[in-house]
Structure 1
Amino acid sequence: MAATARIEITRDVAAIVRDDLHPQAQAIDAGLYPEDVLRSLGAAGAYGRHVDGSAAGLLAAVEAMTLAGEACLSTAFCVWCQDALVWYLARSEESGPRRLLAGVAEGRLLGGTGLSNPMKAFSGIEPLALTAQREAGGYRVRGRLPWVSNLAPGHVFAGIFSLPDGRRVMGLFEAGAEGVAISANARFVALEGTGTYTVMIRDAFVPDLDVIAHDAAAFVPRIRNGFVLLQTGMGLGLARGVAALMRADARGRAPAEHLPLGPSAIEDRVAAISARVAEAARSHAETDRKTFLETLRLRLDVSWLALEAAQSAMLHFGARGYLEGAEAFRRLREAQFVAIVTPSVKHITAELARSDVS
């Protein structure tokens, strides 16, 4: 993507965040799904930057997500869900699912990732939740996915299911289609506006036309670095937003100037991690475990930054941050989500510990 076009897209995304997203952040936190904002971001080019698989494209997608995350992590998370779906479709060697790529990249078709359970399953943390039988022209799938985000009826998401012979297949599902029911059966302390549902799949048919990879075990190593690197935009955006929130608080600035992590220190850490993300993006296509572990270490550091920055903002605002509806408290709840979304801090530290032992 040419530098001029990239600058124009960034300006368009920044304007949508400023004019449309920021005024709705509290409502989204309370449960409003930001569909209009998400579609506007797609029309502005926020989801199409990494279709080509280049390092520059990945970084441009992270940049757009970071801008959204400065105002609202719920929306940044939905942006990541959309970006991840684009990533799968663009990396697929199957022509069927790629027919949807333009619509997803432009935000005309919204959807989720559906890979929380499979990523844990590939790490041996939990069993694969979906099973299937081969039928003429496709697969008959059953199972339950407890959390899939950025969904609504008509939205699409990816899923990985296992066959009786042990093979794993990655395909597309449509929320609300025959055999694919979604239900909201929990209320979250944050990220309530992310369109997160439990998905019940009861003998749903996935035609070969909607198969992303007939061999998911070979496909996942090709997408996992990008999958994780894209997430860094959430935590980096939250940290930048928190630093801006602290800077704008004239009342609390002087009393908080001796806190160990002030806005300047947060911004310095954001810059340092952003440089590491840029370096990691150059090797995202590598499939070896060493590269993936380095990607996980980077993602872990983003989690710690988000948690520590949001905690510092709470200390900065003191009792004012402890009031219901306080911006600092919203950011703290959001930062905790950065640390628990797959791959979570618990997941990453387990992977790194296993590597150290082996």
Structure 2
Amino acid sequence: MAASARIVESAPPDVAGIVRERLRPRLAAIDAGEYPADILRALGATGAYGHHADGTAAGLLAAIDAMTEAGQACLSTAFCMWCQDALVWYLARGDEAGPRRHLAALASGAALGGTGLSNPMKAFSGIEPLALQGERAGSGYRVRGRLPWVSNLGPGHRFAGILALPDGRRVMGLFEAGTDAVSIAANARFVALEGTGTYTVMVRDAHLSEADVITHDAAAFVPRIRNGFVLLQTGMGLGLALGAAALMRADARGRTNAAFLPLGPEAIEARADALRARVGAAAEAHAATDRATFLETLRLRLDVSWLALEAAQSAMLQAGARGYLEGAEAFRRLREAQFVAIVTPSVKHITTELARGA
């Protein structure tokens, strides 16, 4: 059995069919900026976003494997899956029941949404201040601020955000994008992942009702979700690495001429299998809140990032000048791999945390 088959053996069969029949024919369009909402909804209908709602290690792995399957073809789609998975993760683990009224629709893909926790994850590490500020207003909170990049968004999509209160407490809530008070604008163009529904979010005196509060104590809640948050991201990097290996295998002439490159498809697949086994072990401890466990999760995420970068680089080196042409598959995968290394927590964020130690 091929390594790529072993690593996604628990992904729902329908995910592979959607990737083959609907996603692969649209790779160029998505890379150019088309947001594949219909494909994301179809993936949700297979259960891809609902596996981990039960909080089990097996559920986390099933979600990661589904993302890995999509990531072998398209990191934009895999990243949107992670955004959706992360939002489901927050709602399923949240302290308050109100936002869980949206859980079934998000887990099934009937509704789509993103995670606005890039800034808070950096804030909790002391890298930057919280971007959203709030104050009590009646039965909820009045919120203002600006989140520069939130993905898997569109009008009517929901996302999570964490706001700082004047007394130092932090509250996590659910917001609806595309309203007068929570407007979205696409004000940047990226070198890759342009088709991910990524927007700047402007929050202007928005009302966060009690029914949309995920937790009133985000400082205590984040340690309970952060291992799962990071582990889910490994599906992106593993999928990209296996996709790069498959691209190298499919190029018979290039393989012959590149036989002495230091990293071939067999080595990429072997490393991916080993990392997938580590993900499985880490998933068993996802609920641990101690820093030592979190550092091990970050170290695993870092190793997945390095593999994605090295695999994409190897595919590019094998392709040579053919990979340097506009529209080349090897170059798309290289651009995508760089995103795996910079999405929060980025390589520089992770290495900073690891250097701080326990």
TM-score range, shorter chain: over 0.9
Q: How far did 1:9 drift? A: 6.0
Match of 1:183 among 182, 185, 199: 185
Contact 2:142 2:208 in 1 (8 A): yes
2-structure distance, mates of 1:101, 1:194: 21
Structure 2 residue 345 is matched with structure 1 residue 343: yes
Question: Does 2:122 align with 1:130?
Answer: no
In structure 2, the residue matched to 1:3 is none
1: CA distance between counterparts of 2:183 and 2:35?
19
What residue number does 1:139 align with? 141
SS in 2 for 1:247: helix
* Aligned equivalents of 1:343, 1:174: Cα separation in 2: 24
Letter in 2 for 1:231: Q
In 1, Cα distance between the equivalents of 2:104 and 2:9?
21
Counterpart pick for 1:87 among 86, 89, 95? 89
2:275 is matched with which residue? 273
Q: Which amino acid aligns with 1:15?
A: G
Partner residue in 2 for 1:152: 154
Distance 1:107 1:294 in 2: 31
Are 2:114 and 2:158, in contact at CA under 8 Å, matched by a contact in 1?
A: yes
CA distance, structure 2, for counterparts of residue 307 and residue 206 of structure 1:
40
Q: Secondary structure at the match of 1:100?
A: helix
Indicate conservation of the 8 Å contact 1:297/1:348, yes or no: yes
Shift of 1:8: 8.6
Alpha-carbon separation, structure 1, partners of 2:117 and 2:9: 32
Q: Does 1:304 align with 2:306?
A: yes
Give the 3 Å change call, closer, same or farther, for CA 121–8 of structure 1 in structure 2.
closer
Describe the superposition over 1:139-185 as per-residue Cα deviations: whole angstroms up to 9, x where unpaired.
Answer: 00000000000000000000000000000000011001230010000
What is the DSSP-based 3-state SS (H/G/I as helix, E as strand, rest coil) of the residue aligned with 2:196?
Answer: coil
Structure-1 separation of matches of 2:355 and 2:281: 24
Structure-to-structure mapping, 1:24-173, within 5 angstroms: 24-173=26-175
C-alpha distance in structure 2 between counterparts of 1:16 and 1:209, whole Å: 35
Aligned residue type for 1:253: R
Classify 1:337/1:9 alpha carbon distance in 2 versus 1 (closer, same or farther; 3 Å): closer
Aligned AA (1:49): H
- Distance in 1 (CA, whole Å) between partners of 2:137 and 2:34 is 40
Of 261, 268, 279, the residue aligned with 1:259 is 261
Provide, for residues 72-125 of structure 1, a one-character-per-residue CA deviation record: whole Å limited to 9, x for no partner. Answer: 000000000000000000001211001100000000110000000000000000
Give the Cα separation in 2 of the matches to 1:93 and 1:109.
22
Give 2:247's aligned residue. Answer: 245
Instruction: Check conservation: 1:9, 1:44, Cα contact below 8 A.
Output: no
TM-score calculated relative to the size of structure 2: 0.97
User: How far apart, CA to CA, are the structure 2 residues paired with 1:210 and 1:9?
Assistant: 32
| Counterpart residue identity of residue 222, structure 1 | R
1:353 aligned partner, one-letter code: A
Aligned to 2:289: 287
State the match for 2:216 in structure 1: 214
8 Å contact kept, 1:133–1:141: yes
Q: Distance in 2 between matches of 1:76 and 1:340?
A: 15
Task: Give the TM-score taking structure 1 as reference length.
Answer: 0.97
Moved over 3 A (4+): 6-9
Q: Among 189, 196, 199, which residue is 1:197 paired with? A: 199
Letter in 2 for 1:26: A
Bigger Cα displacement from structure 2, 90-99 vs 163-172:
90-99
Length, aligned pairs only: 351
Alpha-carbon distance between aligned partners in 2 of 1:173 and 1:227, rounded to the nearest angstrom: 19
Distance (whole Å) between structure 1 residues aligned to residue 181 and residue 240 of structure 2: 37
SS at match of 2:172: strand
Looking at structure 2, the residues matched to 253 and 8 of structure 1 have their Cα atoms a distance apart, in angstroms, of 30
Tell me if the contact between 1:9 and 1:45 (Cα under 8 Å) persists in the aligned partners.
no
Mapped to 2, the partners of 1:138 and 1:265 lie a distance apart of 54
Q: Which runs of 5+ in 2 are unaligned?
A: 1-7
Aligned to 1:285, what secondary structure does the other structure show? coil
Partner of 1:173, secondary structure, is strand
Equivalent-residue separation in structure 2 for 1:25 and 1:233 (angstroms): 18
Q: Secondary structure in 1 aligned to 2:51?
A: coil
Distance 1:26 1:276 in 2: 33
Question: 1:299 and 1:180, CA in 2 relative to 1: closer, same or farther beyond 3 A?
Answer: same
Amino acid in the other structure paired with 1:52: D
